Amino acid sequence: MSTPINVGLIGFGLSGRYLQSPFFRAHPGFTVGRIVTSRAAEVAEEFPGMEPTDDLETVLADPDIDLVSIATPNATHYDLARAALEANKHVLVDKPACATAAQLRELRDLAKARDRHLFVFQNRRWDSDFLTVKQVLKGGSLGELVAYEARFDRWKPEPNAKPWKEKPGPASGMLYDLGAHILDQAIALFGRPKDVIGDQWMQRTGSDIPDAFDLQLVYGGPLRVRLSCSLLVREPTPRYRLHGRQGSFVKFGIDIQEDQLKAGIQPDHDHFGQEPAEQHGLLHTTTGGVTVRGPVQSLPGRWYDLFDNVYQVITQGAQPGVPLDDIVAQLEILESVPVRK
């Protein structure tokens, strides 16, 4: 394998251009060698002198490509990941990794048979707000946790400008799109639930895909985990609400890394990933007889750490930051949630 790891990037839309390529450029262990896309003008802006290609087979056959990173529409992930593994490439595939858990098990087995690594791009495990939630829970200031709620709301009453996001089919709808993030976070915190109660439905007028969902993950004992999403929320709602026997933590706003990257702020910027003070969460708790109510400074977002983990797994045999068993559990839940007409 080459040093640094040579990447073939498949797709150069939002994910490929803004969420992945800046980190491959920033990390000294990677270089982007080939890009499969029809967006030549956009590639020229980010990679002057590089000629993109629309010939996937040429990239897969290139012996100099070590890692294929898949940043394409949801329904294509499984086929592209399988093709890349069959070409003996390591694979980083955007979420949702597949439409079904059975497909992911097949890819996992293929990766093992080819002695390759399969990674899933669950970047929001390294969001500023989620890292802060983890810190609050680890600190124990809430006491025994009894309620955890995560929402992914937006105001998008009109159909998405990207037609594939509004097209019914495998891995379509907001549960697979946005729900894959907050469900992955819940599994990372609490593991596989004992039961899942909930549904998904079409909320916007004329929608062809389920664009809202509400899930409750049951873990036994007092803890209840609720995950929900709507595209018809015009006023801000809490991103996270956590309640324990000693207090509560409430967090508004969303991680700013995506907006920074779209604005041209790169991962090596001094303030990259740092939320403004107005987005800091509120902690209200009583510890040792002392009641505290005030802001909790958000930890910086660290999507860079996902890429560093990929590098460390491939080169040093480190443990993956996103275990595939977690993704199997995620997909089993995603494919089981009924659509209410």
184 in the same domain as 68: no
218 in the same domain as 157: yes
Whole-model pTM: value is 0.96
- Residue 331 φ/ψ, nearest 5 degrees: -70, -35
Going by their DSSP bridges, the two strands 67-70 and 5-10 should be labelled as parallel
CA–CA dist 50, 46 (Å, integer): 9
Domain for residue 138, yes or no?
A: yes
**Listed residue (254, 281, 306) closest to 119, CA to CA:** 306
CA 18 to chain centre: 14
Find the mean pLDDT for residues 185-197.
98
Cα dihedral 196/198/204/207 (nearest 10): 60
144 in the same domain as 103: no
Domain for residue 313, yes or no?
A: no
- Name the residue range of residue 70's domain: 5-121
Domain for residue 81, yes or no?
A: yes
Work out the pLDDT band at 3, boundaries 50, 70, 90: confident
The tokens describing 141, both together, are 């200031």
Q: Does position 163 have pLDDT exceeding 80, yes or no? A: no
What pLDDT does 161 receive?
A: 72
81 in the same domain as 174: no
136 in the same domain as 270: yes
Residues 222-260 have pLDDT tens digits of 999 999 999 999 999 999 999 999 999 999 999 999 999
Of 106, 121, 136, the one marking the end of a domain is 121
What pLDDT does 227 receive?
A: 99
Domain for residue 229, yes or no?
A: yes
Q: Strand (E) positions, 132-265? A: 145-151, 195-201, 212-218, 224-229, 240-244, 247-251
Q: Does position 276 have pLDDT exceeding 90, yes or no? A: yes
Count of domains forming the chain: 2
Q: At what angle do helices 77-86 and 101-113 cross, to 10 degrees?
A: 10
Q: Does position 270 have pLDDT exceeding 70, yes or no? A: yes
Q: Is residue 334 helix, strand or coil? A: helix
Q: Does position 110 have pLDDT exceeding 80, yes or no? A: yes
What pLDDT does 160 receive?
A: 77
What pLDDT does 341 receive?
A: 80
Q: Does position 133 have pLDDT exceeding 90, yes or no? A: yes
Find the mean pLDDT for residues 195-201.
98
What pLDDT does 1 receive?
A: 62
287 in the same domain as 178: yes
Checking phi first, is residue 312 left (phi over 0); if not, alpha (psi -120 to 50) or beta? alpha
Work out the pLDDT band at 2, boundaries 50, 70, 90: low
281 in the same domain as 197: yes
